[in-house]
Structure 1
Amino acid sequence: MVPNPIGPECIRVTKVYDWVVLTNRDRNKVQIPEECFAAIEDARHDGNTITATCSEVVGTRSCDFIGAIPANIPTVPGAQIVSLAFHVHIRVQFFCNGEPIPGCNFVVPVSFMDEVILCFPEGTEINCNIFDVQCTVVLNQMLGDMVVLDVTMCKDVQVEAEVKLEVEAKFCGPRPVIPIEEDGFICPTPRFPQQCPTFFPTLNCDCQGSADFTGEATISVREGGIGGLTTGQLDLTALVCDQCTLSGSRIQVTFLDTLGPTPIGTPDDDIDQSFTFTASDFNQPVCDLARGTLTVTGTGTITPAGGLPENAGFTLTLTDLDPGGDTATLTINGSSTMVMISLTEGANPGLEVEVGDCERFPV
């Protein structure tokens, strides 16, 4: 038997640079043919019941690429605003007391125009298609010899390019040409379009973590330089790289200050230091799994009691040391509000912290 071990192999594939699904729903006014409209009016005049159906004509779906312009959005560099046109033909059938009306079976075109932000680097192509069409005739909105169609269209849009990838697999070809020692032109190495790394595909993580706490806690809150340690009801939920995906991260904090002296007293006991915080952007976390720690930074929005929302940066450090050694530390720095939350399993019963590894390509 010829050996065929698994090893690095080269394959030619269609790489997906971006992928979105779009849905359109609209009401289109459609002209009823003259012969059909006369038959409908005669049937109604005689007191008959008129109904109608509409359905997609099989084989009429199409999509056209119109053009693209730079999106000029700082948070998604390299993005393009892509214009697309989607077309389908719809068959309309009218009935009188459940029986088809002669001359009232006709086909009309329906089109939708879409603009969508995509990672669309030079050298890639748009591959779009319609994968579902639903239609209803709105009989209570007949406008003279016009009938209204309620059409829903579901579309799939991908940005693609043919590339060569190195993978763990078997078989490949062709092999590199063995060079012949002679002067002449040497073909350059093929260059493929660069990926848009900021928003597609979703970044994987090397590690993941979570923290959850609800209960009384003493934290530090300073607003405009005023404040300090205060005690209140804290609700903290943190998920970092949930399912090993950076986009699956979230941090939500709600703190309700208990007015009056704290256990150790502060000079600002009569100040309401309540706030809420929601993280919106996350950087890749850094983990030391031997010590059970995860640290992640990013930005979000903090809203102090009676104040306006303000942008803020955050740093979250989680330590998973069982039994009894879990800790969670969160610092939030806004333009006028600064928060320090330091929780330990001993001082804050109910604190749950988990830190673990991520396998990018599970076996």
Structure 2
Amino acid sequence: MVPNPIGPECIRVTKVYDWVVLTNRDRNKVQIPEECFAAIEDARHEGNTITATCSEVAGTRSCDFIGATPANIPTVPGAQIVSLAFHVHIRVQFFCNGAPLPGCNFVVPVSFMDEVILCFPEGTEINCNIFDVQCTVVLNQMLGDMVVLDVTMCKDVQVEAEVKLEVEAKFCGPRPVIPIEEEGFVCPTPRFPQQCPTFFPTLNCDCQGAADFSGEATISVLEGAIGGVTTGQLDLTALVCDQCTLSGSRIQVTFIDTLGPTPIGTPDAEGDQSFTFTGNEFNQPTCVLDAAGLVVGLTATGTGIITPAGGVPENATFTLILADVDPGLDTATLTITGATTTVVIALTEAVNPGLEVEVGDCDRFPV
């Protein structure tokens, strides 16, 4: 039998320098084809029931690397702001009393642009993909011949480079050349991109939290000198350190303004105050403890993108404060500050039935 003892080996592998998961959720207004819209209107006038579905078209997912610029953040040397574009095609179909409507099966493109801070040293490359797409037709938001699609897209972004490693997980080089009895050229040892050690991999969080609300809410929206207190449909989902990992954090907010008078006693907002917000960078949260040392709340800060109605996306900072006080006293406050738009969302379980807040402790892995 040939001996096969265990010993040090050198392997060629793809090394991950950074890795994030991004989530986008947005409501997109889509034009209904003329033939389809006429069929919908005829069916409604005859008293029929109209329903609709939307789904991803297989094989249409794509991701494009747009570019990268230095982040210039002292605490994360070597970081880059990477711009990415994600695309997918969505099929929309309308039904009359459960039967497909003629001319009402059409495909529309949906795209999301993301900017994310990554460890992206020279010699590495971006590997990004879409791993899940969910879509819902919001029929109660039909605006003339437009229909609203609620699309959620989950993306995986990795920074990679092919390297040679020892099995103990450190860089390795080629073996020395066995000399021959003549002088020859000696190739230099290859060098690989160095890891950004200050922010990947990350430490566990000390606490974790989540908040979820969907329903009518009154919030404060100020766009320049225009705005005030306004009421509309609010959808808010917040996860901070999901599974005790900072990269598992996300905030998604969609607010559709109810045009017209606001509740009695509140100033009426001018114009459409609708907006969407996505939190894309999170700092380690600050945990709030009770007298017994249990985690009952947290404060999270970070940055994201806010897009006002009819406006352009702009960078923003946010502060999220969660309080898990049972029974019936949960609160969630989110303050978003952009270049031209400031939003304050203050929810309480008493005023906003359906608000769910959960906050808990995390056990760090031993160092």
TM-score (norm 1): 0.55
| Cα deviation digits, residues 230-279 of structure 1 (max 9, x gap) | xxxxxxxxxxxx9xxxx999998889xxxxxxxxxxxxxxxxxxxxxx9x
Distance 1:108 1:249 in 2: 39
Task: Specify the alignment match of 2:49 in structure 1.
Answer: 49
Task: Specify the alignment match of 1:199 in structure 2.
Answer: 199
Distance 1:135 1:116, change over 3 A: same
Q: Quick check: 2:54–2:90 contact (8 Å CA) kept in 1?
A: yes
Unaligned runs of at least 5 residues, structure 1? 205-241, 256-277, 281-356
Deviation at 1:102, TM superposition (A): 1.1
| Cα deviation digits, residues 132-175 of structure 1 (max 9, x gap) | 10000011111111111000000000000000001159xx9996
Matched, 1:178 2:139: no
Distance 2:78 2:28 in 1: 35
Paired residues for 1:279-318 under 5 Å = none
Say what the alpha-carbon RMSD is for the aligned residues.
3.4
Task: Specify the alignment match of 1:18 in structure 2.
Answer: 18
| Cα deviation digits, residues 188-224 of structure 1 (max 9, x gap) | 21110010010112479xxxxxxxxxxxxxxxxxxxx
Task: Specify the alignment match of 1:100 in structure 2.
Answer: 100
Give 3-state SS (helix, strand or coil) of 1:7's partner. Answer: coil
Distance 2:8 2:286 in 1: 37
Deviation at 1:79, TM superposition (A): 0.5
Give 3-state SS (helix, strand or coil) of 2:42's partner. Answer: helix
Distance 1:146 1:117, change over 3 A: same
What fraction of aligned residue pairs are identical, expressed as a percent?
90
Q: 1:139 is matched by which residue type in structure 2?
A: L
Give 3-state SS (helix, strand or coil) of 1:20's partner. Answer: strand
Deviation at 1:185, TM superposition (A): 3.6
Distance 1:41 1:118 in 2: 49
Q: Quick check: 2:164–2:173 contact (8 Å CA) kept in 1?
A: no
Deviation at 1:6, TM superposition (A): 1.2
Distance 1:173 1:118, change over 3 A: closer
Matched, 1:79 2:115: no
Deviation at 1:22, TM superposition (A): 0.4
Distance 1:177 1:183 in 2: 12
Deviation at 1:187, TM superposition (A): 2.1
Give 3-state SS (helix, strand or coil) of 1:195's partner. Answer: coil
Paired residues for 1:137-152 under 5 Å = 137-152=137-152
Task: Specify the alignment match of 1:109 in structure 2.
Answer: 109
Give 3-state SS (helix, strand or coil) of 2:190's partner. Answer: coil
Q: Is the radius of gyration larger for structure 1 or structure 2?
A: 1
Task: Specify the alignment match of 1:217 in structure 2.
Answer: none
Distance 1:249 1:155, change over 3 A: closer
Distance 2:175 2:186 in 1: 17
| Cα deviation digits, residues 292-345 of structure 1 (max 9, x gap) | xxxxxxxxxxxxxxxxxxxxxxxxxxxxxxxxxxxxxxxxxxxxxxxxxxxxxx
Distance 1:116 1:131 in 2: 18
TM-score (norm 2): 0.54
Task: Specify the alignment match of 2:40 in structure 1.
Answer: 40
Distance 1:254 1:104 in 2: 57
Distance 1:60 1:47, change over 3 A: same
Give 3-state SS (helix, strand or coil) of 2:9's partner. Answer: strand
Q: 1:12 is matched by which residue type in structure 2?
A: R
Give 3-state SS (helix, strand or coil) of 2:194's partner. Answer: coil
Give 3-state SS (helix, strand or coil) of 1:39's partner. Answer: helix
Task: Specify the alignment match of 1:273 in structure 2.
Answer: none
Deviation at 1:96, TM superposition (A): 0.4
Unaligned runs of at least 5 residues, structure 2? 205-243, 245-282, 292-297, 301-364
| Cα deviation digits, residues 33-79 of structure 1 (max 9, x gap) | 11111111111111111100000111111100000001111111110
